[in-house]
């Protein structure tokens, strides 16, 4: 069921077994995992069903370091998140992506690639892909050497890899009717989570405060909260934990680490045509 947060009476309170903040690829996938189970799921999405400039502007912000596209331009802030603009290139992470690299502070994951394998299998159908197989040889056998030809490199450090291409799946449209008819999932649109209120020990979120751009406000009292606000977006609610002052130090450590290791596409110019001008 969809609820427009702008139409809720101010001060309303909603309870939930699971409160998911962010209706992008991660948030929608998780909500659908609970589809028609006995848990009450509340999904909070900042945007509506379509893009609107005022909500999109909430993604604006300063980017330091290498020059990059404006933060408001390179993501989508409405139901479906950045799957509304993604290109659909898919392949699993490699082993090395999980390893600590001594020259990169904070690198390394607390689990290995193996742990993700069952989830990768499930993600294939979610993204409308073929079965989970990224071995170049399998694809060469399947497509023939003309369609899947390998490049030869002089170094064993460089490999041929396979990407599968999603149509690309736009989660906000593809899963809209399932979310609309699910009896145990409530999707709140135009619902910006603005503050996480914790218990005195800071170990549990007791309330999620939510506001719309028109000023209406309500709160969710959850048993569990999942932040699914995207790579950069996740830093923000963590930095807005309303918790006891004694936890201030822990909070500033979290604040300095969150959002610091965002990965994105490298955009670079490989060649320039000379003289410049339209192709004939
Ligand atoms: C142009 C482009 C091309 C891409 N191409 C590819 C590709 O080819 N292959 C690939 O693997 N990946 C690609 N990506 C990346 C991919 O789209 C993201 O990794 C994926 O969408 C992340 O999913 P997510 O659910 O974590 O976050 P998002 O999709 O960003 O969703 C986050 C959601 O949280 C909501 N939100 C944010 N803050 C709040 C708040 N405070 N309260 C409530 N809701 C909030 C947002 O509105 C949004 O809907 C691309 C991304 C872009 C922008």
Calpha distance 134→148 (Å, rounded): 12
Query: Does a structural domain hold residue 164?
Result: no
Does residue 229's CB lie within 6 angstroms of at least one atom of ligand 1? Answer: yes
pLDDT digits (tens, 9 = 90+) for 144-193: 999 888 888 888 888 899 999 999 999 999 999 999 999 999 999 999 99
The lowest-confidence range among 12-16, 112-116, 215-219, 242-246 is 242-246
Calpha distance 130→165 (Å, rounded): 9
Query: Does a structural domain hold residue 125?
Result: no
Ligand 1 center–CA 49 separation, angstroms: 15
Query: Does a structural domain hold residue 142?
Result: no
The lowest-confidence range among 45-49, 110-114, 229-233 is 229-233
Calpha distance 122→106 (Å, rounded): 29
Phi, psi of 29 (to 5 degrees): -60, -45
Query: Does a structural domain hold residue 132?
Result: no
Share of the chain above pLDDT 90, in %: 66
Assess whether pLDDT exceeds 90 at residue 258: no
Does residue 48's CB lie within 6 angstroms of at least one atom of ligand 1? Answer: no
**Which pLDDT does position 31 carry in this prediction?**
98
Query: Does a structural domain hold residue 105?
Result: no
**Which pLDDT does position 24 carry in this prediction?**
98
Which of 24, 29, 52 has most ligand 1 atoms within 8 Å of its beta carbon, as the pocket-test mutant?
A: 24
Assess whether pLDDT exceeds 70 at residue 251: no
Q: Tell me the CATH number at 16.
A: 3.50.50.60
Assess whether pLDDT exceeds 60 at residue 203: yes
Query: Does a structural domain hold residue 273?
Result: no
How high is the mean pLDDT of the chain? Answer: 88
Which of 4, 229, 239 has most ligand 1 atoms within 8 Å of its beta carbon, as the pocket-test mutant?
A: 229
**Which pLDDT does position 246 carry in this prediction?**
47
Domain that holds residue 33: 1-86+171-262
Structure confidence at residue 229 as a pLDDT band (50, 70, 90): very high
Structural domain tally of the chain? Answer: 1
Query: Does a structural domain hold residue 197?
Result: yes
Calpha distance 143→150 (Å, rounded): 12
Query: Does a structural domain hold residue 128?
Result: no
3-state class of 19 per DSSP? strand
> Distance from CA of residue 80 to its chain's centroid?
9
Tell me the H-state helices in the chain: 25-33, 53-56, 113-126, 136-143, 171-174, 176-181, 235-239, 248-257
């Amino acid at each position: 069921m969809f609820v427009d947060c702008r139409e809720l009476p101010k001060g309303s309170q909603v309870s939930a077994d699971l409160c998911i903040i962010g209706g992008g690829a991660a948030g929608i996938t998780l909500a659908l995992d609970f589809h028609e189970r006995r848990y009450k799921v509340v999904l909070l999405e900042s945007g509506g069903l379509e893009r609107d400039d005022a909500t999109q502007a909430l993604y604006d912000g300063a980017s330091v370091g290498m020059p990059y596209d404006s933060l408001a331009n390179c993501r989508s802030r409405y139901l479906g998140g950045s799957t509304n603009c993604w290109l659909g290139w898919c392949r699993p992470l490699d082993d090395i992506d999980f390893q600590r690299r001594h020259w990169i502070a904070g690198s390394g994951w607390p689990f290995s690639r193996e742990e993700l394998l069952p989830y990768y299998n499930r993600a294939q159908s979610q993204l409308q892909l073929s079965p989970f197989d990224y071995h170049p040889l399998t694809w060469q056998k399947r497509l023939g050497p003309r369609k899947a030809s390998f490049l030869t490199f002089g170094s064993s450090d460089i490999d041929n890899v396979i990407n599968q291409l999603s149509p690309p799946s736009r989660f906000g449209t593809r899963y809209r009717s399932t979310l609309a008819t699910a009896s145990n999932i409530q999707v709140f649109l135009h619902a910006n989570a603005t503050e996480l209120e914790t218990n005195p020990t800071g170990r549990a979120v007791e309330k999620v405060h939510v506001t719309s751009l028109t000023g209406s406000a309500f709160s969710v009292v959850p048993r569990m909260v999942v932040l699914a606000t995207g790579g950069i977006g996740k830093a923000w609610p963590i930095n807005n934990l309303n918790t006891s002052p004694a936890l201030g130090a822990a909070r500033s450590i979290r604040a300095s680490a969150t959002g610091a290791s965002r990965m994105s596409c490298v955009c670079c110019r490989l060649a320039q045509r000379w003289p410049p001008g339209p192709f004939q």
